[in-house]
Structures are given as C-alpha cells and as structure tokens.
Amino acid sequence: MKPTKETKGFTLIEIIVATFILIILTTVSLANFRTGEKNRRLGLSSEGVISSIRLAQNYALSGKQVYQSDCADTAPIAYRVEFSNSAGSYLVYGDNSCGTVLVETYNLVQQTVFNSTSFYVTDLNGNVTTVNNVNLKFTPPFGFMSAATSGGSTATFSKFRNIAITVQQEGDASKTRTVNIDGVSGRIGE
C-alpha cells in the first residue's frame, strides 16, 4: 500500500477564477460609485440654487436690513438673485435707497455648470423665452417675485409664470437637474 499524500490549499485555476471574480465586482462597484458621485454633485448644485433663492425670499419677507457703511437708510427695497450661464457662480444682492450691496456669493459644485442652452422663462401669457441671464427680485414686505432677463437693479422686472434653471454635469449634458421657480404660487424646487 502506497501512502497517500493529502494536499491542502487551492489550485492555480481556483485562485485565477477567484481573482477574476473579485476584479469584476470591483469594477462594477467603482463604476456605480462614480455615477453616484456625479448625481450627488448635481444634487448639491441644484440644492444650492434653491437655497440661495429661498434666502433672498426670506430676507424680503423678514425685512432684513441692508447695511452699507455710507448709508443711514438700511430699509430694504428688494433682494435679488442674479444667474448667468457663463459663470459658475450666482449672487444675492440687497437693494436699499443708497444702492446695491452684495449679500452673498454662491458657487456651483465642482464639475457642474449651468446648462449651456440658457435659462427658460415663461411669461404670464405662456410664451417661453431662452435667455443667458436671469435676475430674480423679491420685494418686501410680502416677498413679491418678479424677474428680469438682464442684470442689475435698474433692469426691467416683470411677473412671470415659470423659470427653469438647469444644472448639468460638466461635459455631459445628459446628466442634469432642473430647478423650477413658479412665479404664480411662489414654489421653488426641483
């Protein structure tokens, strides 16, 4: 009788198969992680846009004073949020009888941009216009909302039905989030 030799361990084929399965699982999970990261960036950018608009609206509703070093009159005339699709930032301004004060500057999250096809403004008659700049204005004490398609406090503001601001992944227009501002009900959200 020959003594049998017991071998313990794995064969080379078993190790190669296990390694191959591990590589496939790692590749799939990494691809899902990157997709999730892009979606998270878009979500953060759109939430930032919503927050800045609500901030200006809340300032107008609360009558928050606009302070300037050379002005005694701090009563607000309006709060505005200016968007431009050529910039990666958007600005919140406060207007009083002495002029305009920059209240806050917001930046889009890294690797996200405003959609290059501009912003969509729907007027009260239902006519849709694409523009490169949108200026939202909230007037105290009730926070009346109006919009202009040019910048500055001297722009011509008017009521509107809806404004759509779209944020997209930089270099990939298929991944977007759209913020809608309803000028009739005052609803701001995705």
Going by pLDDT thresholds of 50, 70 and 90, the confidence category of residue 68 is confident
Going by pLDDT thresholds of 50, 70 and 90, the confidence category of residue 69 is low
- Mean pLDDT computed over 56-84: 86
Residue 41 phi, psi (nearest 5): -60, -45
Fold of domain 13-189? minor pseudopilin epsh fold (3.55.40)
Residue 187 phi, psi (nearest 5): -70, 135
Q: Which two tokens stand for residue 64?
A: 């928050």
The yes-or-no verdict on residue 2 having pLDDT over 70 is no
Residue 36 has what pLDDT?
81
- Hey, how many other C-beta atoms are within 10 angstroms of the C-beta on 118? 20
Distance CA 108, CA 9 (A): 54
- Mean pLDDT is lowest, of 37-46, 62-71, 107-116, 175-184, for 62-71
Residue 116 phi, psi (nearest 5): -70, -15
Percent of the chain residues past pLDDT 70, beyond the cut: 95
Q: Where are the beta strands (DSSP E) in the chain?
A: 76-84, 89-96, 99-107, 112-114, 119-122, 128-131, 133-139, 144-148, 162-169, 172-182, 188-189
- Mean pLDDT computed over 103-113: 90
Q: Which two tokens stand for residue 150?
A: 């040019």
Residue 117 has what pLDDT?
75
The yes-or-no verdict on residue 4 having pLDDT over 70 is no
The yes-or-no verdict on residue 89 having pLDDT over 90 is no
